[in-house]
Amino acid sequence: MTVFAMLAPLFRRRLGALTLALLLSAITLAAGIALLGTSGWFITATALTTLGLGFNLFVPSALVRAFSFIRILARYGERFVGHNATLRLLSDLRGWLFSALFPRLPLSDRSIRHGDLVSRLTADVDALDVAFLVAIGPMLGALLMGMAVTGVLIVFLPSAALIYALALAGAVFLVPAALVISARKVGRDVVSAAADTRIAVYDAISGHADLTILGVLGTAKDRFSAFARHLSERRLTLAALTGAAAMAVQVLAAIALIGTLWTGLIAHQAGALDPAVFVGLVLAVLGSFEATAVIVRSVGKSTAALAAAERLTALANLPPAIIDPARPLPFPEGQKIAFSDVHFSYDSGAPVLNGVTLSIAPGERIAITGPSGGGKSTLLSLLLRLNEPQCGDIRIGTTALNDIVAAQVHTNMALLSQDSPVFIDTIRNNLRIARPLADDEAIWAALGAAKLEKFVATLPEGLDTVLGESGRTLSAGQMRRLCLARTLLSDAPIILLDEPTNALDRANELSFFETLAEATKGRTVVMITHAAIPDGTVDRVLEMRNGRLTQ
Give the range of 133-141, 209-217, 317-325, 366-374 binding ligand ATP by CB under 6 A: 366-374
Total of residues contacting ligand ATP (CB under 6 A): 9
Nearest of 206, 199, 207 to residue 224 by alpha carbon: 199
Give the range of 153-161, 241-249, 301-309, 369-377 binding ligand ATP by CB under 6 A: 369-377
Give the range of 136-144, 309-317, 368-376, 518-526 binding ligand ATP by CB under 6 A: 368-376
- What's the CA gap between 424 and 426, in Å, rounded? 7
> Residue 373 or 536: which CB sits closer to ligand ATP?
373
Least distance (Å) from ligand ATP to the CB of residue 412? 22
Give the range of 20-28, 182-190, 375-383, 407-415 binding ligand ATP by CB under 6 A: 375-383
Answer yes or no: are the C-beta atoms of 193 and 119 closer than 8 Å: no
Calculate the alpha carbon distances from 159 to 40, 165, 325, 471 in Å.
20, 11, 69, 75
Q: For residue 470, what are the contacts with CB-CB under 8 A and spacing of at least 6?
A: 421, 422, 424
> Residue 308 or 352: which CB sits closer to ligand ATP?
352
Least distance (Å) from ligand ATP to the CB of residue 350? 7
> Residue 106 or 330: which CB sits closer to ligand ATP?
106
Contact with ligand ATP (CB under 6 A) among 378, 412, 520, 529: 378
- What's the CA gap between 433 and 410, in Å, rounded? 13
373 binds ligand ATP per the rule CB under 6 A: yes
CB atoms within 10 A of CB 359: 11
Answer yes or no: are the C-beta atoms of 467 and 478 closer than 8 Å: no
Tallying the residues shown for the chain, one arrives at: 551
Least distance (Å) from ligand ATP to the CB of residue 114? 15
Least distance (Å) from ligand ATP to the CB of residue 208? 26
Answer yes or no: are the C-beta atoms of 404 and 328 closer than 8 Å: yes
Per-residue contact flags (x/-) with ligand ATP for residues 454 to 493, judged by CB under 6 A = ----------------------------------------
Answer yes or no: are the C-beta atoms of 163 and 234 closer than 8 Å: no
Nearest of 521, 495, 321 to residue 416 by alpha carbon: 495
Give the range of 47-55, 219-227, 302-310, 376-384 binding ligand ATP by CB under 6 A: 376-384
4 binds ligand ATP per the rule CB under 6 A: no
Contact with ligand ATP (CB under 6 A) among 188, 365, 376, 385: 376
389 binds ligand ATP per the rule CB under 6 A: no
- What's the CA gap between 182 and 269, in Å, rounded? 45
Nearest of 403, 401, 410, 415 to residue 526 by alpha carbon: 415
Q: Based on the number of CB atoms within 10 Å of its own CB, is 51 exposed (0-12), middle (13-18) or buried (19 or more)?
A: exposed
Interacting positions 51-70 with ligand ATP (CB under 6 A)? none
Contact with ligand ATP (CB under 6 A) among 50, 269, 348, 372: 372
> Residue 223 or 545: which CB sits closer to ligand ATP?
545
390 binds ligand ATP per the rule CB under 6 A: no
Contact with ligand ATP (CB under 6 A) among 176, 375, 471, 500: 375
> Amino acid identity, residue 32?
G
- What's the CA gap between 525 and 254, in Å, rounded? 80
377 binds ligand ATP per the rule CB under 6 A: yes
> Amino acid identity, residue 212?
T
- What's the CA gap between 142 and 74, in Å, rounded? 15
> Residue 170 or 370: which CB sits closer to ligand ATP?
370
Per-residue contact flags (x/-) with ligand ATP for residues 325 to 354, judged by CB under 6 A = ---------------------x-----x--
Answer yes or no: are the C-beta atoms of 416 and 446 closer than 8 Å: no
Query: Which residues contact ligand ATP (rule: CB under 6 A)?
Result: 346, 352, 372-378
